[in-house]
Amino acid sequence: MSYPPPGNQPDPYQPGQPYEPRQPTPPAYQPPISGQPDPAAAPPNPYAPADPSSGQPYGQPDPYAQYAQYGQQGGYPGYQPQPYGYTAPRGTNTMAILALILGILVPPAGIVLGHMAKRQLATSGEEGGGLATAGLVLGYVLTAMYVLFCCGAIGLGWLGATLDSTSTGNSGY
């Protein structure tokens, strides 16, 4: 059951209510007859700049003139517009940094991370190609030195064991 709205106001939620009347449309634009001022034209602006290229209202001081001494053309202090085509610096690839660090501490891990960083850098466009290369070089060089050291230690141990048993010549005291 619905209650009637108060007063003589029609209920906007009931179907069949009339629409609001249309607003009259403004007349179409008529260009002024030459020699007569346009009645729709705005009156002249008293605050218009004396020199239109200055951008400042007539009689008003330039609020950014204090920054002109710093070599800026106006605007906020410290802001320098960037040249066309400028892109923000890209970040350094984390894998390349880890490749360099682990190339020194754990050379085989530096080799693996260096190759992974090179693959990531080819697709991501980040910085760090030099770090990945340095990690690879250090990893390969230090791994080779470690392998040579281990082979040399084993070889000296074997040589020492064979020379010790054959150099005495006698098996007694």
Distance (Å, whole) CA 107 – CA 146: 9
Question: Where does the pLDDT of residue 132 fall: very low under 50, low under 70, confident under 90, or very high at 90 and above?
Answer: very high
Question: Residue 171 falls within a domain, yes or no?
Answer: no
Question: Residue 30 falls within a domain, yes or no?
Answer: no
Query: What pLDDT score was predicted for residue 84?
Result: 76
Task: Tell me which residue range forms the domain holding 100.
Answer: 94-164
Q: Are 138 and 100 in contact, with CB atoms under 8 Å apart?
A: yes
Q: Which among 92, 96, 95, 94 is positioned nearest to 131, based on CA atoms?
A: 96
Q: Are 135 and 109 in contact, with CB atoms under 8 Å apart?
A: no
Question: Residue 108 falls within a domain, yes or no?
Answer: yes
- Give the mean pLDDT of 120-149: 95
Q: Is the pLDDT of residue 142 over 80?
A: yes
Name residue 69's amino acid.
Q
Question: Residue 33 falls within a domain, yes or no?
Answer: no
Residues 3-62 have pLDDT tens digits of 655 666 666 666 665 566 666 676 666 666 666 666 566 666 655 555 556 555 555 666
Q: Is the pLDDT of residue 149 over 50?
A: yes
Distance (Å, whole) CA 138 – CA 99: 9
Question: Where does the pLDDT of residue 125 fall: very low under 50, low under 70, confident under 90, or very high at 90 and above?
Answer: confident
What are the backbone dihedrals phi and psi of residue 70, each rounded to the nearest 5 degrees, phi first? -90, 5
Question: Residue 151 falls within a domain, yes or no?
Answer: yes
Question: Residue 111 falls within a domain, yes or no?
Answer: yes
Q: Give this prediction's pTM.
A: 0.46
What's the per-residue H, E or C state across 81-116? CCCCCCCCCCCECHHHHHHHHHHHHCHHHHHHHHHH
Question: Where does the pLDDT of residue 147 fall: very low under 50, low under 70, confident under 90, or very high at 90 and above?
Answer: very high
Question: Residue 7 falls within a domain, yes or no?
Answer: no
Distance (Å, whole) CA 23 – CA 61: 45
Distance (Å, whole) CA 168 – CA 164: 7
Question: Residue 149 falls within a domain, yes or no?
Answer: yes
Total domains in the chain come to 1
User: In DSSP terms, which residues pair with 105 in a beta bridge?
Assistant: none
Distance (Å, whole) CA 3 – CA 44: 58
